[in-house]
Structure 1
Amino acid sequence: MDRNNLLENIQWTKDVVLELEGVTEKHRGLSAHQHSLLNYKPFEGLHNPLMLRFYVVPILFIVITLFILGDLLASLFIFIDAEGIWMFLSGITLFIVLPLAGYFLLLRTISNYLIRKSKVTRIEEAQGLQSSIESLHKTSMELKNSLAEHSAVPQSYLFPYAVSKLESFLVKHRADTLKECINLYEQEEANEKQQQEAEKRHQEQLREMERQNQKMVKAVNKVKTQVEKNRDDYFHY
């Protein structure tokens, strides 16, 4: 394959690789969204942050009622007879306990209904995503097969950065064959890795020097403090 044909092949490969990357990212995003829809488990009861506000109303009602009428109810409870106690308890049950129980029962029923409805909606949405996911998977496989059949670039270099570098070597006339392009790419990658390792070692050396300087400053301050103490003791005596 001559230089011009190689350049055209690499440019075509770059376009396909970029398209494949976009399809893969979209497929990954839709799959993750589908998984979250199918595995979402809403909180129930008191742990549900949406339902918690509805429990505040009866609790506040009880607290305010006891705060306002607590002393009166306690005094009445002391002076009434046995029959009056039963009437008092019956009134509490009829006008406070039963309404609160009905409130919580209704709240629980509505909560379960909304949870079931939300679950059905999520399942329907997840099923609607399945066709798009399958279509993207099919497109991804077609692009991979096309690259395997027609691209001159080896499999290990079929990602956007590497293909773009190979293309730039040909465009800038730094290489004329695929082998030369790959050798230049590997050489630059090795040089960049060495530079990163050298920079890492340099940063570690700087941090070590900083630690040593801090230790030295502490030691000097300690000696200075001891000298000043000895001087004060000397002049004191």
Structure 2
Amino acid sequence: MNLLNNIQSTRNEVNNIININKKIGNYFKEPIKIGFSGHIGALLISFILWLVAFLLVVLILIYPLEMIFGEDLAQLIFNGLGLLLLLGTIIGYVYLYSATNKKIVESNIKADGNEEVVKLRQDRDKLLLSLSSNSIIPKDYWTIDALNTFEKYIINKRAEDLKECINLYEQESRHDEQMREISAMQQLQEATYRRASEATILSYMNLLFRR
């Protein structure tokens, strides 16, 4: 098998592995991860809901309770009720978050033993074994991007062997990375220039208004 055929065969098997991984992934769910800011936002929404619920309770019960218990005792009851609603909201949020993730974990454990998942993993292992035995492409380059690029090098006569493909690919990858870094620096410089220009305009406007 020549180099071009080996590249194409490797790409087909890599593509099959990617498709299998996608199918396996469909059986599993990622646990909810919202980070610290996400938790703060969720608690804020919960607090707003608590506040709305508390206000509704106050509007409905304030007059009957004041008539039965008097204004002072009714106020104490509302304070206690408000605290209970707040604590209930926080505890409810923590419980709901934990329970949801627990169900996801249980679902993933169940999916792990699914017959279809087991078969897909076996098929993937066979493909990986075939790649290790038949592909002359190093494992680090078992990606669609690298293999497509190697194919172009050979077809366009930019490289004649695998070593030249790898060296050329690494050179162009480094060049692309450098260009991305240069572009990021240029964007940062442009943003800094815009802020400086805006600050200058604002200072001139302040001087004009002071006059």
TM-score normalised according to structure 1 size: 0.54
1:172 aligns with 2:123: no
Q: Distance in 2 between matches of 1:29 and 1:171?
A: 37
> Which one-letter code corresponds to 1:23 in the other structure?
I
Q: Distance in 1 between matches of 2:27 and 2:124?
A: 14
Q: Is the 1:10–1:153 contact (alpha carbons within 8 Å) kept by the matching residues of 2?
A: yes
Identify if the C-alpha distance between structure 1 residues 129 and 30 changes in structure 2 by more than 3 Å, giving closer, same or farther.
farther
Aligned to 1:10: 7
Q: Is the 1:30–1:129 contact (alpha carbons within 8 Å) kept by the matching residues of 2?
A: no
- In the TM superposition, what whole-angstrom CA distance separates every residue of 1:170-195 from its partner, at most 9, and x where no partner exists? 11111001000001111111111111
1:29 Cα deviation after fit: 1.6
Q: Distance in 1 between matches of 2:9 and 2:153?
A: 15
Q: Distance in 2 between matches of 1:146 and 1:32?
A: 29
1:28 aligns with 2:41: no
Q: Distance in 2 between matches of 1:208 and 1:127?
A: 51
- In the TM superposition, what whole-angstrom CA distance separates every residue of 1:11-31 from its partner, at most 9, and x where no partner exists? 100111111110111112223
Larger radius of gyration: 1
Q: Is the 2:4–2:151 contact (alpha carbons within 8 Å) kept by the matching residues of 1?
A: yes
Q: Is the 2:111–2:117 contact (alpha carbons within 8 Å) kept by the matching residues of 1?
A: no
Give the aligned CA root-mean-square deviation in angstroms: 2.6
Which ranges of structure 1 fall in alignment gaps of 5 or more residues?
37-62, 64-118, 229-237
1:128 Cα deviation after fit: 10
Q: Is the 1:6–1:178 contact (alpha carbons within 8 Å) kept by the matching residues of 2?
A: yes
Which ranges of structure 2 fall in alignment gaps of 5 or more residues?
33-59, 61-102
Q: Distance in 2 between matches of 1:132 and 1:13?
A: 25
Q: Is the 2:13–2:127 contact (alpha carbons within 8 Å) kept by the matching residues of 1?
A: yes
- One of 153, 164, 178 as aligned partner of 2:137: 153
Among the aligned pairs, what percent are the same residue?
Answer: 27
TM-score normalised according to structure 2 size: 0.60
Q: Distance in 1 between matches of 2:28 and 2:208?
A: 66
